[in-house]
Amino acid sequence: MMRKMNGSRRMSFVFRWVALLLAVGGAAKATTLARMSVAQMSHAAQAIVRARCVENSAGWDAGEIWTFTSFQVQEAWQGSVSGRIRVRLLGGRVGNLTSSVSGVPRFRSGEEVVLFLERTPRDDFSIVSWEQGTFRIRREAATDSESVTQDSASFATFDPATRLFEAAGIRNLPMETFRARVYAAMSAETRRKQ
Amino acid sequence: MKSSIAIGVMALLVFALLGGSPAEAYLMDTTVPQAGGCPAFDRWNLSLASPLNRRWSTSLPLGPPTLATVAALGSAAQLSEIEQVITDSFGAWSGVTGTTFNATNYPGLIAPLAQVSAASSCSNDAENNVDGLNTICFNQPSMGFSSGVLAFTRVITADAPGVSVGVSATAAFAGQILDSDTLFRPDGQATFATPAALATSPGAYDLESLLAHEIGHWFGFDHSAVWRALMFPFAPPPGQFLGSRPTAQAPDGPLSDDDRTGIRVLYPDPNDAVNVGAITGRVVPANPFALAAIPAPSSGGSVTGIFGAHVVAVDADTGAVIAGTLGGWSCDPSNFVVQFDGSFDIERLPVGHSYMIYAEPLVGLATPGDFSDALNDLCASDSAAPCTTPAVNTNFNPRIRPAVP
């Protein structure tokens, strides 16, 4: 038999549930991904770029199906990259076969992103920590401003460069603030090496 | 039959409690048939006489070792300790009642766990020569391991009958899984500990938690947005584990109700009379013009509901989250066109309970990026009815609505 809740009990239930979600917000560690701060990803990346997705294709290499995404580099924040680059990510569809790997970001033609990139032995790129090293750019038409959101925005990260704890990853951060944070992380890394 | 609704969304949650309706949407990986058709769940063909094969490579990294065990490194006891974790991780899923994977009611569907010695047993690195053998590897390198990637599972499915890979069975339907492999990072950037060794292995990840999650991918699951679910994309930090350890009485202890519901949906037990309830409905905006700016997903099509809302069924008496799904689409089998109409369908719910339904945007603990594979799979550009999956709609605000009388 179904029973209906009265209004106050219903509201109480809702708020308890929402409170639970908020309470666990700091718990994070990817099943497949190690926690990495912006500084750590900056250190791991050979290139950090702002780029626009051009096209996707898929193909076999080394016993795996890969999705190859071409990006047009708009700005190189780190590394000497320009023009069109190719990023490979696990999974995709070739012929009658589909390879599925959860946690891998996918991109749409025309989409603008900031990517933390590592070179592969094939001289193309992979993304540092997959969705963690992927930041989608959103443009607010009303204010003509841009913000970035990390694909793994639920991820709690501590950034040693800024000594800030991002309880929910990076979400809707103004582009210039994000860029400044990345440059600060790179500068800190340079100083550390010296 | 009526049910309580605690939250509507920004507007309207059309809602019905039914018994055993066909699945239209759930948080599974799907495949669009090559010949055209609605997206089909990725799953094993359990009607085959041969059981699901499974094996693991006993080749373990040594420099440095990445598997922490109580037993001595390189000993037979170490292999036994690791194998017990693998067995328990499978046992968590095969311990769920109400599914044909249940080892008690349907013994023999999962083959005994075999061992192989080659390090690179999860593929042979020879272009498209996938072997059709389902393998767990701890010592196989891969270009997929960019910095920070600890482990991944690759699931190969067919999009048409008659397709096979290596020694796999020949596919009987689109979406049939032909090969699943799990690779753990072998280069020493991360350490994985058995439950017995976890407490004395600082910085190590709980092998059982990670492996049970990866095996969920073997069975056709994508990630879940339910925080407590084993299939939630984020696992406990090093040194910790979620849920309960499996026991003889409760082998499915590590799983949540959301995980259990999911495997019942994928592999329903025809003799199950308990978990046969379903809640279906649509999440739509109060103002339909709010959707007008969304690009058409297909020729002549339009987006008519909220796509990608996280819809959750909660037991009204206990508060337990029983199941969650990403709603937003349906498919009419008569014309094979995916409709992005805000539909959701939560199936295999225990009957005799009262449920509340939440619909929330994916802006909380999980985000659209956590589910890109499952969402993008809904459309295939080379199918008979191509479409483009719209962006997940997170631009709505849940609000309380009165229950439907």
User: Per the CB < 8 Å rule, is A10 touching B4?
Assistant: yes
Buried b / exposed e over B228-238, threshold 16 CB at 10 Å, is bbbbbbbbbeb
pLDDT greater at residue A109 or residue A114: A114
Q: Where is average pLDDT lowest: A151-165, B181-195, B389-403?
A: A151-165
Locus of tokens 């499952």? B374
pLDDT band for position B365 (50/70/90)? Answer: low
B6: pLDDT strictly greater than 70: no
pLDDT digits (tens, 9 = 90+) for B99-128: 999 999 999 899 999 999 999 999 766 666
pLDDT at B400: 54
CB of B134 within 8 Å of a chain A CB? The answer is no
Does pTM top 0.80 for this prediction? yes
For residue A99, list chain B residues with Cβ-Cβ distance below 8 A: 154-156
pLDDT: is A45 or A36 the higher one? A45
**Looking at residues B142-166, what average pLDDT do you find?**
92
pLDDT tens-digit map of B10-65: 333 434 333 323 233 346 788 888 888 888 889 999 887 778 899 999 999 998 99
CB B310 within 8 A of CB B326: yes
DSSP per-residue codes, B80-112 = HHHHHHHHHHHHHHHT-TTBTT-TTTSTTSBPP
Which of A:66-105 have CB within 8 Å of B? 88, 90-91, 93-94, 96-105
Higher pLDDT, B205 or A28: B205
Domains and CATH numbers, chain A: 30-193 (2.40.50)
- Supply the angle between the helices B76-94 and B207-218 in degrees, to the nearest 10: 50
Provide the shortest C-alpha distance from residue B327 to chain A (in Å).
Answer: 18
Q: What is the pLDDT of residue B351?
A: 94
**Neighbour order of strands in the sheet with B67-68:** B67-68, B192-193, B205-206
Q: How far is A184 from chain B (nearest CA, A)?
A: 21
Structural contact between residues B78 and B160, judged by C-beta atoms closer than 8 angstroms? no
Number of residues that this document lists for chain A? 194
All structural domains of chain B: 5-16+29-255 (3.40.390.10)
Name which of B143, B181, B279 to mutate to probe chain A: the one with the most chain A Cβ atoms within 10 A of its Cβ: B143
Contacts with A20 from chain B: Cβ below 8 Å = 227
So what's the pLDDT on residue B17?
36
Which carries the bigger pLDDT value, residue B241 or residue B353? Answer: B353
pLDDT for the residue numbered B7: 32
State the pLDDT at residue B372.
67
Q: What average pLDDT does the structure give for chain B?
A: 83
Return the pLDDT at B22: 28
CB A157 within 8 A of CB A35: yes
Cβ–Cβ below 8 Å for B356 and A93: no
* pLDDT bracket for residue B369 (50, 70, 90): low
Average pLDDT, chain A: 78
Residue A120 pLDDT greater than 70, yes or no = yes
Average pLDDT value for residue range B89-107: 94
Whether residues B370 and A134 touch (CB distance < 8 A) is answered with: no
State which amino acid sits at residue A99.
S
| Chain B contact for A15 (CB, 8 A cutoff) | no
Over range A90-94, report the average pLDDT. 92
**Cβ of B356 and A88 within 8 Å?**
no
**pLDDT band for position A154 (50/70/90)?**
low
Question: Taking CB atoms and an 8 Å cutoff, what residues of chain A touch B124?
Answer: 63
CA A48 to mean position of chain CA atoms: 12
CA-based nearest residue in chain A for residue B126: A63
The chain B residue lying nearest A6, using CA atoms, is: B403
Spatial CA neighbour of A119 closest among A78, A155, A151: A78
A98 to B214: CB separation less than 8 angstroms, yes or no:
no
Q: Which residues in chain B have their CB less than 8 angstroms from residue A30's CB? A: 150, 233-235
Q: Could you check whether the bond before residue B39 is cis, i.e. omega within 30 degrees of 0?
A: no
Name the band, by pLDDT with cuts 50, 70 and 90, for residue A99. very high
Residue B113, classed as helix, strand or coil, is: coil
Candidates B160, B234, B382; nearest CB to A29: B234
pLDDT digits (tens, 9 = 90+) for B210-235: 999 999 999 998 877 677 788 877 66
**Which residues contact residue A113 at a Cβ distance below 8 angstroms, ignoring those fewer than 6 apart?**
A50, A51, A52, A53, A71, A107, A134, A135, A136, A137
